[in-house]
Amino acid sequence: MYLNDYLNKLMRVWNAQEGLAVARFVSLQDHHVKNPNLYKEYPEDAVCRTVPEPLDEIVYTHLRVVYQLKCANPPDYNEAYRHQTSCIQAVVKLLQHMKEENWILPIMYVVAIDLRLLATKCEQQARSSKAGKILEKAAESLLSCFRVCAGDTRSADEDTKRLGMLHIVNQLLKVYFRINKLHLCKPLIRAIDSSNFRDAFSLAQRITFKYFAGRKAMYDSDFGNADELLSFAFNHCPARFTKNKRLILTYLAPVKMLLGYMPRKEVLERYNVPQFHDLAAAVREGNVRRFDDTIARHELFFISAGIYLIVQKLKILTYRNLCRKVHLLLGVHQIDMEAFETALRFSGIEDITIEETHCIVANLIYDGRIKGYISFQHNKLVLSKQNPFPLVSGT
């Protein structure tokens, strides 16, 4: 296929208003990218003779990106990213030009994805002290698309560009999570939650959004909301996408455990996250030594997933279950603090003092994990006679 053939085919689907077909002609993931006949350093004249404004700018900047990726040796990702930025700016012009029409949204989708991927590639190659700067600039370009979509309030519901908001928001969330600017996610999440079209977006986009919104809620210690969002993502993600379900479960599992629901071994094995089975067993047993050993053994996994501090919060539940075992063993509601100190020593904290034992128990009372009070005069924990150890899910 020569350049003129490419442009003529593009114009046929453009005139037929086939947005998905047009999008394929400007996507870096499409097979036409492998066609040497399209590798032109300066394709503007040929494109402008066939393609009308403002589509022409999108097409020739796309072909310039292809040229930099395929003809430069090695591929010039920085120059390709620069042209892709021009491409998405041209997409913004197209969105503004074509009022009360949204069939062109697929063009925005593919150009936005390619921009993020190219920016990520540039970041990987740069490895400079200013990590994240290129992705941050890419996010600014993506925000331009978001503003156009969000501001389209006059079109009819079936023609509104607001239906494209979630796709751009998901690209922005991926960028902000990658550069660790999570505070910028909040207004985007709020915009989608308050949108009248939140149930009209595609299921795939909703799953992606719930996944990132759930992770944000988890980092904000809003575990109830995180559970709801991540559970939606996990339950609605098709079974064939095992890798994606495993990724969701990596965050859903610790959230469930913090709410008192221990994941089943067969589920963890099915999605290859056995790290949480050892952790859940340690918490359930109240075994502090096993808990610490599990954290140490799988430390790299927890750190790389960004959940190391989250799983550390499970230690308070381990203490709670250990204290509950002491209570069940002695069968009384007034327990000498030395009994807890002995239990903690036996569970692996060999150098613990009575003062540290008081501190641990006091924290459990403060967090609502234990109902009772410490009598310092008698050095005893006085437990409530009614439900002294409330269910974790209810605290």
Q: Are both 186 and 332 inside the same structural domain?
A: no
Give the pairing of strands 334-336 and 380-383.
Answer: antiparallel
CATH label of the domain that carries residue 360: 1.10.10.10
Q: In the prediction, which pLDDT does 104 show?
A: 94
**Residues 178-229: pLDDT tens digits?**
999 999 999 999 999 998 888 889 999 999 999 999 999 999 999 999 999 9
Tell which of 155, 176, 201 closes a domain.
201
State how far the Cα of 186 lies from the Cα of 262, in Å rounded to an integer.
Answer: 29
Mean pLDDT within 51-57:
91
User: Within a domain: residue 245?
Assistant: no
pLDDT at 132 over 60: yes
Give the total number of structural domains in the chain: 2
Q: Are both 328 and 191 inside the same structural domain?
A: no
pLDDT at 306 over 90: yes
Predicted structure pTM score: 0.90
Q: Is the peptide bond before 54 cis (omega within 30 degrees of 0)?
A: yes
DSSP assigned state of 38: G
User: Within a domain: residue 210?
Assistant: no
C-alpha closest to that of 265 among 275, 252, 255: 275
User: Within a domain: residue 192?
Assistant: yes
What confidence tier does 271 reach under pLDDT thresholds 50, 70, 90?
very high
**Residues 14-43: pLDDT tens digits?**
999 999 999 999 999 999 999 998 888 889
Q: What would the two tokens of residue 70 be?
A: 């395929």
Determine whether 322 is exposed, middle or buried from the number of CB atoms within 10 Å of its CB (0-12, 13-18, 19+): buried
Q: What would the two tokens of residue 82 be?
A: 């620069």
User: Within a domain: residue 168?
Assistant: yes
Q: Are both 167 and 22 inside the same structural domain?
A: yes
Distances (CA, A) of 151 to 98, 274, 341: 14, 46, 62
Q: What would the two tokens of residue 57 be?
A: 């700018």
Q: How many residues does the chain have?
A: 395
Mean pLDDT within 363-389:
90
Tell which of 201, 235, 263 closes a domain.
201
Q: Are both 192 and 338 inside the same structural domain?
A: no
User: Within a domain: residue 306?
Assistant: no
User: Within a domain: residue 328?
Assistant: yes
User: Within a domain: residue 101?
Assistant: yes
User: Within a domain: residue 299?
Assistant: no
- Domain span at 327: 311-383
Tell which of 146, 176, 201 closes a domain.
201
